[in-house]
C-alpha cells in the first residue's frame, strides 16, 4: 500500500491510498478519513459507496461528510467504483465498464478478470483497512449514492451481521426491472436472471430484509427517478413489514447538492447504531 496524500481535516486526517488488489487484478485507490479519536484506538467506520462515473474522490470532496463524521468520532471509507487501468475492460457507455462496477463479481468475459467489486468491497478492502488503520471491524455501517446506494443495500442484506445500519441516497432500488440494472447485470452476470436477485435491493428486502435500521432519501425532482424505482423498495419493505425510514425530499435532484444536504442526518443515523450497546 502506498500513500498518495494525507491532509489534516476537521482534527483528523483525510488520506488517499493505492494498493495492488488481488480481487480486481489491478491497482486500486481509496480514500479514508480518520477522526482525531483514531489516535487513541480503533473507531467505528462508515463505508460510502459512490455512483456511476465516480471515483473515490467524488464523495470525499463533495459530500461534506468529514465534518459530521469528526463530530461523531467515525471513520469514513471511500472506495473506487470499479477496477481501472490498461488491460481493464471498458465500454463506450458511461454506465458500463470502468466507473460502473455495480458492486458485483462479474462471471462473464471481458469483465470477469477484473470486475470483482463485491469481493473487493466486502472482503479485501476491509481486511486491508482494519489491518493498517485504527478502525474497529466490529462496528461497521454502510451507505452510498445511486449505484452505490444499490451496493450498500445489497451488501447489507446479503452479509447478515456485518453492518449495524444501512442507508442510501437515491439508490437504484430495483435494478432487475430498470435500464440501470438489466444492462449491467446481464453484461456482468449473464442472462440467467436468477443470479441477479441477490443484487436487487427490492428483491432482497422481500427475501431477507435487514436486521437493523434502514434509511433512504430520494429527491422528488431526481431526473433519474424512473430508473431508481424507490416505490419498489417501499412496497418490499411494506410486504416484509421491515422497519425502515424511506423519505422523499421535495424539490431535490440527483446531485451532490442533494447528498450533502442530508449527509448530517445519515451520519447521525449511523452513529446512533454504531455506538449502541
Catalytic residues: 146, 222, 254
Pull the grid cell for residue 171: 439508490
| Residues with Cβ within 8 Å of residue 233, at least 6 apart in sequence | 153, 171, 173, 174, 201, 202, 205, 216, 246
Phi, psi values for residue 68, rounded to 5°: -70, -35
If one counts every other C-beta atom within 10 angstroms of the C-beta of residue 132, the result is: 12
Helix (H, G, I), strand (E, B) or coil at 271: helix
Gap between the Cα atoms of 216 and 149, Å rounded: 9
If one counts every other C-beta atom within 10 angstroms of the C-beta of residue 144, the result is: 32
Phi, psi values for residue 263, rounded to 5°: -65, -40
Cβ atoms of 129 and 105 closer than 8 Å: no
Q: Do β-strands 245-249 and 214-219 pair in parallel, antiparallel, or remain unpaired?
A: parallel
Amino acid at each position: 500500500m502506498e500513500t498518495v496524500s494525507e491532509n489534516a481535516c476537521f482534527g483528523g486526517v483525510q488520506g488517499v491510498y493505492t494498493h495492488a488488489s488481488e480481487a480486481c487484478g489491478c491497482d486500486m485507490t481509496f480514500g479514508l478519513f480518520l477522526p482525531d479519536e483514531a489516535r487513541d484506538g480503533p473507531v467505528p467506520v462508515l463505508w460510502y459507496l459512490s455512483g456511476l462515473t465516480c471515483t473515490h474522490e467524488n464523495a470525499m470532496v463533495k459530500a461534506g461528510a468529514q465534518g459530521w463524521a469528526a463530530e461523531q468520532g467515525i471513520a469514513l471509507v471511500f472506495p473506487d467504483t470499479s477496477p481501472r487501468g490498461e488491460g481493464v475492460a471498458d465500454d463506450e457507455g458511461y454506465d458500463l465498464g470502468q466507473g460502473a462496477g455495480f458492486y458485483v463479481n462479474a462471471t462473464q468475459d471481458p469483465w470477469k478478470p477484473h470486475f470483482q467489486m463485491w469481493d473487493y468491497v466486502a472482503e479485501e478492502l476491509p481486511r486491508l483497512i482494519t489491518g493498517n488503520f485504527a478502525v474497529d471491524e466490529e462496528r461497521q455501517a454502510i451507505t452510498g449514492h445511486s449505484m452505490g446506494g444499490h451496493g450498500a443495500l445489497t451488501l447489507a442484506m446479503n452479509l447478515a451481521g456485518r453492518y449495524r445500519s444501512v442507508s442510501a441516497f437515491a439508490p437504484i432500488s430495483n435494478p432487475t426491472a430498470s435500464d440501470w440494472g438489466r444492462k449491467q447485470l446481464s453484461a456482468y452476470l449473464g442472462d440467467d436472471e436468477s443470479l441477479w436477485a441477490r443484487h436487487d435491493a427490492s428483491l432482497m428486502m422481500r427475501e431477507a430484509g435487514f436486521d437493523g435500521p434502514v434509511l433512504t432519501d430520494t429527491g422528488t425532482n431526481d431526473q433519474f427517478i424512473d430508473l431508481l424505482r424507490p416505490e419498489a423498495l417501499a412496497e418490499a419493505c411494506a410486504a416484509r413489514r421491515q422497519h425502515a425510514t424511506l423519505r422523499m425530499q421535495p424539490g431535490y435532484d440527483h446531485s451532490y447538492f442533494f447528498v450533502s444536504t442530508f449527509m448530517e442526518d445519515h451520519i447521525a443515523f449511523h452513529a446512533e447504531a454504531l455506538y449502541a450497546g
